[in-house]
Amino acid sequence: MNIKIVADSSSNILTFDGVSFASAPLKINAGDKEFVDDQNLDVRNMVDALEAHKGKSTTACPSVNDWMESFGNADIVYGVTITSALSGSYNSAQVAAEQYMQENPGKKVFIVDSLSTGPEMELIIEKFKELILKGLSFEEVKEKVTQYTKKTCLLFSLASLSNLAKNGRVHPALAAAVGLLGISVIGRADEEGKLDSMHKTRGEKRALSRLFACMNEMGFKGGKVRVSHCFNESMAKKLADAIRLIHPACDILINQTRGLCSFYAERNGILVGFEV
């Protein structure tokens, strides 16, 4: 029985050890340039090019075909997507799943809507792996992962909401107040999978203490933490240090955002996925 995990590229995960894995790429378009969010993308070069680009830029979710390709020929596929409240990725993955099961009787696909993105998806991918390696059945994995998504959260600190606003994902009035005079916005993925702005702060120090305070208010007790940053490793490390002061054994991993999250989180943005 060959089992595979798939995720769209907003998870920031390209390869995953110990289990068969594939990423379905989103795309970023700016003028005549198209950036495919796969292993060949030079993220630094993309972020520089986007900042220099003055015209419109947009994103596109993986097509049904992209999802089909990610499934390969697996007997069982477990997938996770970016929030369906802000992207068509989940819908497109569901259509692919139906088609795949119709064309391959006996094969099974389960796709979960993360109602989030980035490092919260990373936690879900890790949970799939853990349950697969435990030898749980398809039905058990479905059930347990659905439960697990209720116990994971996403917080972010963003220094600009410009690309989110330009693409109609947040209100322009909110975006206008962020980025000026070092103002960052701290927010979360809410229960409906929408972006919820919670606080505006000035300076990295205050942003960090707000982030940690929000984690605690949301029920963080020292569970797993995954941090993704857009060229801001130092802030990610400071957050990890602050968490470890209270929870010395906390399992924390830090990575760099890939294309999609870099586009929307923008330079210096950080995303924090954690268990509650």
Q: Does 273 bind ligand X90 (CB under 6 A)?
A: no
Q: Does 243 bind ligand X90 (CB under 6 A)?
A: no
- For residues 30 and 86, which CB has a smaller minimum distance to ligand X90 in the complex? 86
Stretch that binds ligand X90, among 13-21, 95-103, 177-185, 258-266 (CB under 6 A): 258-266
Q: Does 223 bind ligand X90 (CB under 6 A)?
A: no
Measured from the Cβ of residue 19, the count of other Cβ atoms closer than 10 Å reads 16
Angle, helix 138-149 to helix 118-133, in steps of 10 degrees: 150
Contact predicate 145/124, CB 8 Å = yes
Query: Which of 16, 21, 100, 264 contacts ligand X90 by CB under 6 A?
Result: 264
- List the structure tokens of 228: 């993704």
Contact predicate 15/21, CB 8 Å = yes
* 13-32 residues near ligand X90, rule: CB under 6 A: 26
Question: Residues for the chain: how many in total?
Answer: 276
**Under rule CB under 6 A, how many of the chain's residues touch ligand X90?**
22
- Best CA proximity match to 196, nearest among 156, 152, 149, 167: 156
- For residues 3 and 82, which CB has a smaller minimum distance to ligand X90 in the complex? 82
Helix boundaries (H) for 87-225:
89-103, 118-133, 138-149, 162-166, 172-176, 204-217
* 53-92 residues near ligand X90, rule: CB under 6 A: 59-61, 82-83, 86-89
Residues that bind ligand X90 (CB under 6 A): 26, 59-61, 82-83, 86-89, 116-117, 154, 156, 169, 189, 193, 195, 261, 264-265, 271
